[in-house]
Structure formats: structure tokens, C-alpha cells
């Protein structure tokens, strides 16, 4: 897990330790952590950035086999349209259970256009 807020990262680290979870917390910004996080299976983010920016930030992992799960709000279609100018990808839209207007975007096979 990558979390830039040190207080939140400490909390996450405590939870990982308390429950002996198979996870590691990296207390850095995502754009500073590519070399520190090796080959995740899933990249996820909520309320971090627009989809085009998320794809730019997570491209080092999404272009090498990881799958992206991104919670997006009612304007997600515009963000997807903006993203296809720069990236090609496989996309599955899952309805959000917490937001009637939102979706979970499941992206795979990310590649530059």
C-alpha cells in the first residue's frame, strides 16, 4: 500500500501488523514509490485524481500486468473519454454500492496510444 500521509501510513502499518496481513505500507507519494513497490496485482485509488492522472501515476504497474480498480463519480464517462486520447485499455464498469451515481472502473492491459 502506498500512502503519502505519514499518520495514515502508521495506522495502516499498525493494522497490517496487528492482523498479520500479507501487505507492506510505503509512506511515500505514489509518484515517488514506483521503484519501491514491486509488481502488485491490483492498483486502487479513491478520491486521488482524475482517471487520466491516475493512469499516468499507475502506468508503471498497469502496463506490466496489474489491474486497476478505481472508484469514480458521476462524471466518470468524461474521464474515460479523456483517457483514451493517451491510453488504450480493457474496461469493465461495476456499479458502486456506496454511490448511486458512481462506478468502480476495472482496467487491465493498459498500453500507450
Whether residue 75 sits in one domain with residue 44: yes
CATH number (domain holding residue 84): 3.40.50.150
Domain that holds residue 53: 39-113
Q: Average pLDDT of each block of 10 consecutive residues along the chain (113 residues)?
A: 87 94 84 72 83 92 90 93 95 93 94 94
Whether residue 86 sits in one domain with residue 67: yes
Whether residue 52 sits in one domain with residue 33: no
Distance CA 81, CA 46 (A): 19
DSSP assignment string, 11-78: HHHHHHHHTT-S---B-S-GGG-TTTS---SEEEEESSS-HHHHHHHHHHHHTTT-EEEEEE-TTHHH
| Residue 85, helix vs strand vs coil | coil
pLDDT confidence of residue 45: 81
pLDDT confidence of residue 34: 66
Whether residue 80 sits in one domain with residue 27: no
Whether residue 113 sits in one domain with residue 67: yes
For the chain, how many structural domains are there in total? 2
Whether residue 43 sits in one domain with residue 32: no
Whether residue 96 sits in one domain with residue 44: yes
Distance CA 87, CA 36 (A): 24
Amino acid at each position: 500500500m502506498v500512502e503519502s500521509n505519514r499518520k495514515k501510513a502508521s495506522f495502516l502499518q499498525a493494522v497490517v501488523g496487528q492482523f498479520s496481513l500479507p501487505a507492506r505500507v510505503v509512506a511515500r507519494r505514489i509518484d515517488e514509490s514506483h521503484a519501491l513497490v514491486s509488481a502488485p496485482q491490483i492498483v486502487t485509488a479513491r478520491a486521488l485524481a482524475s482517471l487520466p492522472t491516475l493512469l499516468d501515476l499507475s502506468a508503471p504497474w498497469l502496463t506490466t500486468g496489474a489491474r486497476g480498480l478505481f472508484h469514480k463519480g458521476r462524471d466518470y464517462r468524461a474521464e474515460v473519454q479523456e483517457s483514451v486520447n493517451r491510453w488504450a485499455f480493457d474496461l469493465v464498469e461495476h456499479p458502486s454500492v456506496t454511490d448511486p451515481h458512481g462506478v468502480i472502473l476495472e482496467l487491465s492491459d493498459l498500453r500507450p496510444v
